[in-house]
Structure 1
Amino acid sequence: MTETRADPRTDPPPRGSERATLLGFLTYQRQTLALKCSGLNHSALMSRSVPPSTLSLIGLVRHLSDIERFWIRRALSGSTDAPLYWCEDSPDIDFVFPCVPEQAEAEALLVRSSMDAWESEMAYSDAVLSHVGLDDAVSAGRHGVLSVRWILTHLIEEYARHNGHADLLRECIDG
């Protein structure tokens, strides 16, 4: 008989306030990506399971780090901090990185720094989101003026969509 592990994710509150529900779903989606990345070595996290696509689990982590950074640090907080990976000349750069199996130490460093950056962006986001109202609104460049509610919903949507990619990547890795 195969032993099944308990799901480590926290379910959103079934009858919580709007704020608690939105934050609960954001946490759940973040935990889902972390779960998809768990138990894998750096080579597996960097593997591109469907060549010639550059999509990988660590690429998703890097992409979502910049998503949180843009929407919370830059749009909501007004920071001028540059994106971590994204640039206008190469918008998919978060998925493009050297993949050289014989350089295991460099791969391990890239994975660790990417995971650390993601954790840092999530912590920053959580700190900001803890003291803003859902009806607060900010100008988000070409996106116009948006409420915190819209930003939270968009973050949940981004994670949910990319967690679908993570499911497929993890299936390819696990066989």
Structure 2
Amino acid sequence: MHDDQRTHPSKVAGDRASLTTFLDYQRATLAMKCQGLDAEQLRARAVPTSALTLLGLVRHAAEVERSWFRLALAGEPITPLWPAVDGVRADFLVQDADVEEAFARWHEACAGSRKVADGFASLDDTVEFRGETLSLRYVLTHMIEEYARHNGHADLLREALDGTVGE
């Protein structure tokens, strides 16, 4: 794998710093899995039994960031960055997708998520969303899980693309 530029989480930080730095670490891991690949490779369905692509994962991450932080936590109305096509989530439809746009929107979404999280005084602060009570702690933990799962997919995709393995 390329030089690891990620900031590794502290082993002794408090709860909030641990959750936010682990989430940033997972975000950086997805970026690292995409590093050094061209547009064709990022759009490639590298595993024959799956339609997943690295670019699709980046676009999906942008949508998930916006959904959990802006919509659920901040209560902002949002529309999908990439509207569905024939009922299929368009974040994963990347045949003609603009790579620079996808990464820019993902980075914007991550920055927006950090801003929303910073607006909460405590991890235990809650909001009501679709009939459920959500805490900032829950959303941060869920997002770490979301990225970790998809980073496992990214590991397999990257290895299939060019043989690159590693955390």
Q: Same fold (TM over 0.5)?
A: yes
Residue 166 of structure 2 corresponds to residue 169 of structure 1:
no
Structure 2 residue runs without a partner (length 5+): none
The equivalent residue for 1:76 is 73
Select between 83-92 and 12-21 the one with higher mean Cα deviation: 83-92
Select between 49-58 and 64-73 the one with higher mean Cα deviation: 49-58
Report if aligned partners of 1:138, 1:146 keep a CA contact under 8 Å in 2. yes
Alpha-carbon separation, structure 1, partners of 2:83 and 2:47: 22
Alpha-carbon separation, structure 2, partners of 1:115 and 1:88: 21
- In structure 2, the CA distance between the partners of 1:173 and 1:5, relative to structure 1 (3 Å rule), is closer
Deviation, 1:140, is 2.4
The equivalent residue for 2:129 is 140
Alignment TM-score, normalising by the size of structure 2 = 0.89
Report if aligned partners of 2:19, 2:141 keep a CA contact under 8 Å in 1. yes
Larger Rg: 1
- Taking only the aligned residue pairs, the percentage that are identical comes to 47
Question: Of residues 36, 44, 47 in structure 1, which corresponds to 2:41?
Answer: 44
Alignment TM-score, normalising by the size of structure 1 = 0.85
**Aligned length, in residue pairs:** 162
Aligned AA (1:14): K
Structure 1 residue runs without a partner (length 5+): 100-106
CA deviation profile, 1:116-152 (whole Å, cap 9, x unmatched): 100000010111112212111112226x111110000
Matched ranges for 1:94-113 at <5 A: 94-99=91-96, 110-113=98-101
Aligned AA (2:118): S
Alpha-carbon separation, structure 1, partners of 2:50 and 2:83: 17
Alpha-carbon separation, structure 2, partners of 1:88 and 1:5: 35
- In structure 2, the CA distance between the partners of 1:19 and 1:86, relative to structure 1 (3 Å rule), is farther
Which ranges of 4 or more aligned residues in structure 1 deviate by more than 4 Å? 86-89
Deviation, 1:98, is 2.8
Residue 117 of structure 2 corresponds to residue 117 of structure 1:
no
Question: Of residues 59, 64, 70 in structure 1, which corresponds to 2:61?
Answer: 64
State the Cα RMSD in Å: 1.9
